[in-house]
Structure 1
Amino acid sequence: MNYSADFLPPIKLIALDAETASLSGRTGRTRPPTDIRWVRVLEFLRSNNLAPNSRKLYERELKRFLGWTELHYYELRPRHLGQYKEYLRDELRTDAGKPLSKSSINAGIAALKSFFKWMCYTYPDIIATNPILGIKLEKVPLPPAQSLTPEQMERVWSALELLGETKQRDTALVHILIHGLRAGEVVQLNVGSFDGKLLFLPDTKTNEPRLVPLCQESRQVVAEYLQLREQQGEVLNSLSPLMISHHASYKGERLSYHGIYFAVEKIGELAVIVDLHPHSFRHTYATDLLLLGVDSFHARKLTGHKSEKAFRRYTLRSEQEAAIAAYYRAIGETQGV
């Protein structure tokens, strides 16, 4: 039989009805073609140790970028990324109709920087040169540390006494949070992470293991919380979650990221502290370390800050306090009198 081009039947294009055609033959609906670019994004998100909020932000920003351009990664050039930054700055609007803040623009650019750095390392055959290297972040003032005052911390401790079933757990939770842990790090803690004095964090945001020493009162509270669970019949081993949920649907399971936020929000309501969140305690811990005179390098080791620049917001207050104290010493007055 002759299979030359002259004898082939004409090609017919058949439009698929989205309501009736099916790739599986059962659902009655067509599936949209998979964007191979998004497959790379999903791989990036899976391969990085991102906290839930960071993952959500990266996913949102990368999806926004892919919605803006139809170019494949190997087609992107620095000018395209520069045009995208202009789009974020000049065209995109919030739900309220306002331009994006500089911080929001930076969040979008930072997500792309992280993604393209990963792409260049993982798929050098697709992207040989990072197209976003020359794109600068917007200059924004360094935000002040959102530390809690001693009076606010007193209200937190008082609020814990008003709790019912979750009192022991939430007290232990706050004692851990006041040592600078991120909510995502607390979620990962097991009973074996606590040796009676230190917390061992094998998987942190900086991808480096971290040891966090607890003060005497805090390690006693954590130990008493674990003893209470054993007295209630729970069999604990090294892989048991350190913090457990009291929610009816997840009782006894590992306390989730959102569970930690909900618990802290409830404490904030009782303590009458607006917008209290887990990171409030981390800010307080970092600031207090510096006010106590701990070297900033050692303080960053304790908090798990990889960048000295990111830690700068905490050193500002300690430097200011030191300057005020130096002034009063110089003029022979006692500070606060």
Structure 2
Amino acid sequence: MVNNPQFDNLPPIKLIPLNDEAVSVVQQQGRRSATKTSLPTDIRWVKVLEFLRSNNLAPNSRKLYERELKRFLGWTQLHYHELRPRHLGLYKEYLRDEVKTDSGKPLSKSSINAGAAALKSFFKWMCYTYPDIIATNPTLGIKLEKVPLPPAQSLTDEQMERVWSALELLGETKQRDTALVHILIHGLRAGEIVQLNVGSFDGKLLFLPNTKTNEPRLVPLRSESRDVLEAYLQSRSEQGEDLTSLSPLMISHHASYKGERLSYHGIYFAVEKIGELAGIEDLHPHQFRHTYATDLLLLGVDPSHARKLTGHQSEKAFRRYTLRSEQEAAIAAYYRAIGEEAE
């Protein structure tokens, strides 16, 4: 070895022995480091999460959007600015021809449309929020499948009588659930009811600041429903609850969440239980909304006013309710024309 005076004054190298535990820690740190570098964050998914947070989506809608957008990102590795309408056309073919349900059947036209609608909504938001990333919406040319409008799932008068009778069979939740049904029969969505506070009710109207269409809505309540809601709130006050304008209008009776805001799933569970007692299979909250919309038109309320009351943005979606009222009017006109009373 050649001596180099330049290194004569350097301190000697000291080797520090590592015991087994120390070696294990170093190895684990190395593995964690390797894991972090081998799984980079997908920036595309970050934008999806931002989209989901920035939109006022009902729980079910959020779950659907998240599922469909995750499926799309799993189908392609292209970044958003690289996507073209042809890619979206190929993806729609993929949904139609290759994706299967849990039972092994092809996706229905409604399911394909749900996937396409989620993409349309997301890319519209991306173009508006990040025009520097994506200037042209690649979903503009995507056409939705033609699907016949499903009939309204309105409850009959006889079924509603069974619902009212079933409420009398409830125990601890009887007063709460009776008030809940009285709100549901005025066409509110479950997600809208979750957000209601005591201050949302002024004794006559319900004020909904946040709705599915992002437009505030006033819902007038009939006299009996106002009385039921007043009695429910009075009962809670008498039981020692300090009600303020920000207190939840509907509260949970679940042991783990007692006194807290009634959740979206809590509403569905309550209605499902009422359906079991009433002997109505698969009763769900939205059926009361369908019933309300249908009844408004049968009462002769102008369709434009009815849509304002229900908060329907789409005239096409509301068409299912006008069909029945028009049919009823046609039947009545026929019996008048032949001089007979309609049964």
Could you state the TM-score of these two structures normalised by the residue count of structure 2?
Answer: 0.90
Structure 1 gap ranges (5+): 1-16
The one-character-per-residue Cα deviations of 1:258-315 (angstroms, maximum 9, x if unpaired) are 0000000000000010110010100000000001000111001100111111111111
- Which aligned pairs between 1:22-171 and structure 2 lie closer than 5 A? 22-23=32-33, 32-171=39-178
The one-character-per-residue Cα deviations of 1:100-157 (angstroms, maximum 9, x if unpaired) are 0000000000000100110111111111111010110000111000000000000000
Distance 1:307 1:31 in 2: 47
Contact kept? 1:19, 1:30, Cα under 8 Å: no
Partner SS state of residue 152, structure 2: coil
Paired letter, 2:213: T
Paired letter, 2:313: K
Contact kept? 1:200, 1:211, Cα under 8 Å: yes
Contact kept? 1:18, 1:29, Cα under 8 Å: no
Partner SS state of residue 31, structure 2: coil
Paired letter, 1:203: N
Distance 1:101 1:271 in 2: 32
Which is greater in Rg? Answer: 2
The alignment status of 1:297 with 2:304, answered yes or no, reads yes
Partner SS state of residue 166, structure 2: helix
- Which aligned pairs between 1:170-181 and structure 2 lie closer than 5 A? 170-181=177-188
Distance 1:62 1:241 in 2: 33
Paired letter, 1:228: S
Distance 1:288 1:220 in 2: 21
Structure 2 gap ranges (5+): 1-26
RMSD: 1.5
Aligned to 1:5: none
Distance 1:19 1:115 in 2: 39
Distance 1:94 1:56 in 2: 17
Distance 1:18 1:31 in 2: 15
How far residue 22 of structure 1 moved from its aligned partner, in angstroms, is 1.1
Distance 1:29 1:91 in 2: 33
How far residue 32 of structure 1 moved from its aligned partner, in angstroms, is 2.6
Paired letter, 2:57: L
Paired letter, 2:246: L
How far residue 331 of structure 1 moved from its aligned partner, in angstroms, is 1.3
Paired letter, 2:110: S
* Residues 1:147 and 1:40: Cα distance change in structure 2 (over 3 Å): same
How far residue 324 of structure 1 moved from its aligned partner, in angstroms, is 1.1
Aligned to 1:240: 247
Aligned to 2:339: 332
The alignment status of 1:269 with 2:276, answered yes or no, reads yes
Distance 2:38 2:291 in 1: 50
Could you state the TM-score of these two structures normalised by the residue count of structure 1?
Answer: 0.92
Distance 2:224 2:188 in 1: 17
Distance 2:180 2:30 in 1: 53
* Residues 1:18 and 1:176: Cα distance change in structure 2 (over 3 Å): farther
Contact kept? 1:245, 1:251, Cα under 8 Å: yes
Any runs of at least 4 consecutive aligned residues in structure 1 with deviations exceeding 2 A, and if so which? 17-20, 28-32
How far residue 71 of structure 1 moved from its aligned partner, in angstroms, is 0.4
Distance 2:329 2:204 in 1: 31
Partner SS state of residue 32, structure 2: coil
Task: Kindly tell me the number of residue pairs found equivalent between the two proteins.
Answer: 317
